[in-house]
Copies of this chain bind each other. A is one copy, B any other.
Amino acid sequence: VPPEPAGPPLSYAITRLARQIRRKLSDLQVHDLTGPDVIAMLTLDHESGLSNAELARRCFVTPQSMNEVVLELERRELLTRAPDPSNQRILRAELTPAGKELLKSWEGRINALEDALLEGFSEAEARRLRKSIEHAAKNLGLPTSTGNGRTS
């Protein structure tokens, strides 16, 4: 084990970076949707048909928090929900065409933010950074970003 890090702790730097990212993200949200909305939509786009509870697990928030997001997105008709045939209690969500379209317009801006974030990084460095962050997240008990995280 290495003795001491030189400056302020790494967790501090990560927290500050995350805050700045959120700030930038909210800057480019000309629509009146919030950061978590975008994350939920990105997740749904990546894995369609998730229930609210599953979506919450993917995004590592409580079902209650996610529910708030999902209800809002449903109200705006950016996603639809239908009960699972085998379990009426479970509502499986899908992005609507409007939702996918809106997401696509965001993706452009999100990619621009990512590019700004990674300015001056080589591709190898960027890949390493992503891998390190996912590794660190796993170390703290988070399921892998793209992982299935199935509990049952």
Binding site for B on A (CB under 8 A): 1-2, 4-22, 24-25, 35, 39, 42-43, 46, 59-60, 110-111, 113-121, 123, 125-126, 128-130, 132-137, 139-142, 145-146
Contact = CB atoms under 8 A, between A and B. Distances in A.
A122 B130 CA distance: 16
A18, A116, A130: residue with the most chain B Cβ atoms closer than 10 Å:
A18
What is the interface of chain A mostly: helix, strand, loop, or mixed? helix
A24 to B, nearest CB: 6
B8 A46 contact: yes
B42 A136 contact: no
A132 B124 CA distance: 12
Contacts of A25: 11
A20 B133 CA distance: 12
Contact of A141 (B20, B60, B114): B20
